[in-house]
Structure 1
């Protein structure tokens, strides 16, 4: 970061009041307008006041809500942007010119209410992430020459040592320098899984400490920590506009000119500008402005109740149009819980000794193979010994000291030619593999198999007939033999094995340029491809980077949740279109009645409110769970 520039966290903090005001401005305008209309009616009919007096609240509401809209519409007109709110702006301006202040105020109420609902939908998209962020402590116990001192979270610097008390949330990303214990990282994995921590192991901000105090050396600044990433996710989720809202603008491209033409023709043939206003008032496309955000909120709420977090509401519209599905292998189509199926022990080592040493080191790892080794050790009654100096550099395996011996667990591809020749490794075969070195000598080769999920085959088989997917592709960094084996098990014909994150990204980008795509994965190496797809879905929240890249996060490790999201999305889109198009057809009938002189502007506004109630009532169905939400 350049000197003198604000950090990302500081910029986020600076933006937060502006975001809050943007979200709540429309709500304030709607509340003010509602009060103004009520006060107008009370003064007009309750106290029989003079027109100047009972119109004053309406003029205030029009000034606060209507004039800013008209100014904004003028700017859009200069840019040749005409959306679903154009008719509303023309109606407000005409009502001011004709003195029909009540009709204009009702339109302001409908518009501001719709915009508030839309911003509320955006807020719902990041509500779970916001709850996670609130868990972070506001102060940190930092070690100083005089003892522990309480400092603010942002005051921590790289190299500072902080003490995390029992049951506290870890405030920094760092490395343990004193103490032994456990941390609960369920906020990343979605599962209650505790990770052992000892001197040399890494810790993540946001993890909850166990029973023992730990001293941690900070390795990242506050703005670069896990916490700061979550805050950045929240900011982006709040600022993004739902794409389905733009569907309303698309429909308005055809509806708006027709409504203006009918209103203009009415004025031309009758010579009555009031009829022009009456037609425009009832023509205001509030079913588009109101009902679609309501449907979005309802679908987001239903997803949240089903443990599906929708971070990008546009995904609700786009996923039903996706025609190619990409799937990661481990942890997505498989359980991500491989079993140890073969242990080839080198001469000079015993099976029990190898399992004991490996389990002692793997106790400090989150890798799926670590759990397989620990499970095998438990099955044979072996208690894992303590380990120290544990290191796990990305892509380089796991190293540490167990019972005074230097231990290394790595993959075949990480070995040098001399090491391979020295070890005389058994031939490579299908399945996962890791190589164990003890005291600088080759000790054993471990083979694993990861079983496909019970529902994987039926889920893959139903994507075409039930959800109109034309291609299903399995991509993985694993060897081709292992990837092909799984593809045969789950019924996928097209595979891409041995893929690096960059190669996955290129593959997804190429396909997304042709058709809309969905990418489902659970690992950090899936994040780039997930962002390149039309809709990215993370399953299980195994990594914060993956959740940050995903449009949708399924908190449960189940493909059924993917199917539920597909059903909720398709149903939401259908309900939204029913509400929007149905409301416009009713408005069209009302426009014809108003053109015939049967409705005044105020009566037209009231009729439009009744249409809104019908449209919104239908849109609320998106929040109600149907009888079934999945096919698998």
Structure 2
């Protein structure tokens, strides 16, 4: 059964092997003419098939390396070396089979995500004692679900049970199970521990974390790296050099056989196979490092990055601002100020809003629904709460609606969310964040690897942004920016290629506009992940550096494998000009060149050597915009 499956998967290789065995048997029986006809029919069939594919490529404006293999097969048939022509067929088809194996090996870490995608959810209904199974696509937010021991969580949800542990290694790469308490969010794709638990669905299947990762995997698997096209750009010079060497050998020897003997060693399998194998290995390696990269093209750009821009909150900082002080004004009660602000912030997607809501919940304040709510991205939110118009946001935004707004004094590392109620300034909420402990290492590592310009693009105030950037080694700060201004600055940032790292909805435009956009996906927004070229699955900045290192390593491996194939092929062709390598032997020798390049290209799977980490200052509080 396995042999039949392999035969169907590789029909040209199967046909070539059968034809080769038939030719050997016929030759041993001294039936040379039938043997020649069997070989000729098979080889001519492959020539026609290859020529048709090559013609379609040329009509699309793409000149590939298949022309050399085509000329080699024709040349060996013309001079009567039909066994050598069969070996070339086996070499080409065998190279495809080796490439397919390498692709399967390299893509294993990516496809593992697809293979374990949850399909069924157990829904708990109030009127039924037993759960009912429904397709995961039919789960709606608010549904109560049962997750049995060792099952995959089907959608993002809130844990209703008291406590449980979850294996999130497929999402974050962290091998140690994490403990979740009642009320905490549980991500789809994580594996439940030993206890059955109940969760309340937060999002539909298509909007949940695991399905978003799977969508990224599909994009990564279906892409083609520029270095694959770069290998094709070797086609014209390599073809011309090969034909020139073979032609000179023919002219000197006065024998067309010498042309065929040289050309069988010029078959292009090393160039065609090396680059895609290397880049698939690199994609697999980045997945192990906690980054889903959307294809080899992105990986090559990462290898060449010379400028990097970071968002601040949630990127260089941990993105979990904590309320440290409530400063009411105009006779407003502190708890009432926080309750109204948190009620309005229910309708904001900004990371600062989460800190305000969390503080209200910790104080046991009951939030009220809004009759109407509207958010202005990066500025603030306006909501009608209990017939009162509540505005929460940046001072300029609040002052436009409440002229008596007064800026509150702040120390470095603090930010105030200003609040107005019914057109009058009601006070400020002071919050603080913490720098990611690995941020300094990442900035230093990028500089070590050739990044010449590192900047911060943030909507936060200039003084606060500069206070965060300086200790991390970020020397260029652009503050108080709107999303459109971030895009404009990113477009002008040189040298190129330029990498942007961000996490929020407001970062989606600049992530899409950058040469390479990386989204912090562990807690970042879906919009940022969709706009980005790569998504970090861990709640850490270090995978950004790892991805750049893997990209550089992969590109070096791809180039080296290509040049190994070129040097070996040209060297063997020069030797063949003397006539010491028969056509059949040359065709077999070329197989070892193929094997050498493939094995070298698979080095991309191992990734670069780990660099020693430098010391990082302990985290300190900083501002969240």
**What's the TM-score bracket when you normalise by the shorter of the two chains?**
0.7 to 0.9
What residue in structure 2 maps to residue 384 of structure 1? 364
Q: Separation in 2 of the partners of 1:445 and 1:573?
A: 51
What residue in structure 2 maps to residue 17 of structure 1? none
Q: Separation in 1 of the partners of 2:47 and 2:611?
A: 42
- Using the TM superposition, give the Cα deviation of residue 278 of structure 1 relative to its aligned residue in structure 2, in angstroms: 2.4
- Structure 1 contact 125–313 (Cα < 8 Å) conserved: no
What residue in structure 1 maps to residue 231 of structure 2? 248
Q: 2:591 aligns with which of 596, 609, 616?
A: 609
The Cα offsets for residues 444-469 of structure 1, whole Å up to 9 and x where unpaired, read as 411123232233334324533x2222
Please give the secondary structure, in 2, of the residue aligned with 1:166.
strand
- Cα 1:331/1:163, change in 2 over 3 Å: closer
What residue in structure 2 maps to residue 135 of structure 1? 118
Please give the secondary structure, in 1, of the residue aligned with 2:610.
coil
- Using the TM superposition, give the Cα deviation of residue 376 of structure 1 relative to its aligned residue in structure 2, in angstroms: 6.1
- Structure 2 contact 102–602 (Cα < 8 Å) conserved: no
What residue in structure 2 maps to residue 523 of structure 1? 504
The Cα offsets for residues 221-251 of structure 1, whole Å up to 9 and x where unpaired, read as x999989876764554343211111221233
- Using the TM superposition, give the Cα deviation of residue 103 of structure 1 relative to its aligned residue in structure 2, in angstroms: 2.3
- Cα 1:482/1:117, change in 2 over 3 Å: farther
- Are residue 104 (structure 1) and residue 71 (structure 2) matched? no
The Cα offsets for residues 272-323 of structure 1, whole Å up to 9 and x where unpaired, read as 3333222122111322222222322332232222223222212222223221
Question: What are the within-5 Å matches in structure 2 for residues 23-38 of structure 1?
Answer: 28-29=10-11, 32=14, 35-36=17-18
Q: Separation in 2 of the partners of 1:30 and 1:143?
A: 60
- Structure 1 contact 165–212 (Cα < 8 Å) conserved: yes
What residue in structure 2 maps to residue 14 of structure 1? none
Question: What are the within-5 Å matches in structure 2 for residues 6-21 of structure 1?
Answer: none
What residue in structure 2 maps to residue 498 of structure 1? 480
- Using the TM superposition, give the Cα deviation of residue 581 of structure 1 relative to its aligned residue in structure 2, in angstroms: 0.8
- Are residue 263 (structure 1) and residue 243 (structure 2) matched? no
Gaps of 5+ in 1: 1-23
- Are residue 315 (structure 1) and residue 295 (structure 2) matched? no
- Using the TM superposition, give the Cα deviation of residue 509 of structure 1 relative to its aligned residue in structure 2, in angstroms: 2.7
- Cα 1:42/1:181, change in 2 over 3 Å: farther
Q: Separation in 2 of the partners of 1:414 and 1:340?
A: 21
Q: Separation in 2 of the partners of 1:393 and 1:125?
A: 42
Q: Separation in 2 of the partners of 1:312 and 1:28?
A: 26
- Structure 2 contact 521–535 (Cα < 8 Å) conserved: yes
- Using the TM superposition, give the Cα deviation of residue 269 of structure 1 relative to its aligned residue in structure 2, in angstroms: 3.2
What residue in structure 2 maps to residue 92 of structure 1? 73
Q: 2:97 aligns with which of 113, 119, 122?
A: 113
In angstroms, what is the RMSD of aligned CA positions? 5.0
What residue in structure 2 maps to residue 622 of structure 1? 604
What residue in structure 1 maps to residue 435 of structure 2? 452
Q: 2:465 aligns with which of 483, 506, 514?
A: 483
What residue in structure 1 maps to residue 146 of structure 2? 166
Q: Separation in 1 of the partners of 2:443 and 2:538?
A: 18
Q: Separation in 2 of the partners of 1:96 and 1:203?
A: 65
Using the TM superposition, name which of 105-114 and 29-38 deviates more.
29-38
- Structure 1 contact 479–498 (Cα < 8 Å) conserved: yes
What residue in structure 1 maps to residue 456 of structure 2? 474
What residue in structure 1 maps to residue 619 of structure 2? none
Question: What are the within-5 Å matches in structure 2 for residues 522-561 of structure 1?
Answer: 522-541=503-522, 542-561=524-543
- Using the TM superposition, give the Cα deviation of residue 149 of structure 1 relative to its aligned residue in structure 2, in angstroms: 9.6
What residue in structure 1 maps to residue 580 of structure 2? 598
Using the TM superposition, name which of 468-477 and 539-548 deviates more.
539-548
What residue in structure 2 maps to residue 11 of structure 1? none
- Using the TM superposition, give the Cα deviation of residue 530 of structure 1 relative to its aligned residue in structure 2, in angstroms: 1.9
**TM-score under structure 1 normalisation?**
0.75
Using the TM superposition, name which of 607-616 and 35-44 deviates more.
35-44
The Cα offsets for residues 317-374 of structure 1, whole Å up to 9 and x where unpaired, read as 2223221111111122122233334321346555566667877997998754356457
Please give the secondary structure, in 1, of the residue aligned with 2:146.
coil
- Structure 1 contact 30–113 (Cα < 8 Å) conserved: no
What residue in structure 2 maps to residue 293 of structure 1? 276
- Structure 2 contact 343–368 (Cα < 8 Å) conserved: no
- Cα 1:325/1:213, change in 2 over 3 Å: closer
Q: 2:561 aligns with which of 579, 583, 589?
A: 579
**TM-score under structure 2 normalisation?**
0.75
Q: Separation in 1 of the partners of 2:455 and 2:502?
A: 12
The Cα offsets for residues 114-135 of structure 1, whole Å up to 9 and x where unpaired, read as 6636865896695376358x32
- Structure 1 contact 66–108 (Cα < 8 Å) conserved: no
Q: Separation in 2 of the partners of 1:474 and 1:546?
A: 17
- Using the TM superposition, give the Cα deviation of residue 262 of structure 1 relative to its aligned residue in structure 2, in angstroms: 0.9
- Are residue 68 (structure 1) and residue 52 (structure 2) matched? no
- Using the TM superposition, give the Cα deviation of residue 164 of structure 1 relative to its aligned residue in structure 2, in angstroms: 4.4
- Using the TM superposition, give the Cα deviation of residue 608 of structure 1 relative to its aligned residue in structure 2, in angstroms: 0.9
Please give the secondary structure, in 2, of the residue aligned with 1:165.
strand
Give the number of equivalent residue pairs.
Answer: 586
- Cα 1:188/1:62, change in 2 over 3 Å: same
- Structure 1 contact 501–529 (Cα < 8 Å) conserved: yes
- Using the TM superposition, give the Cα deviation of residue 204 of structure 1 relative to its aligned residue in structure 2, in angstroms: 10
- Structure 1 contact 122–239 (Cα < 8 Å) conserved: no
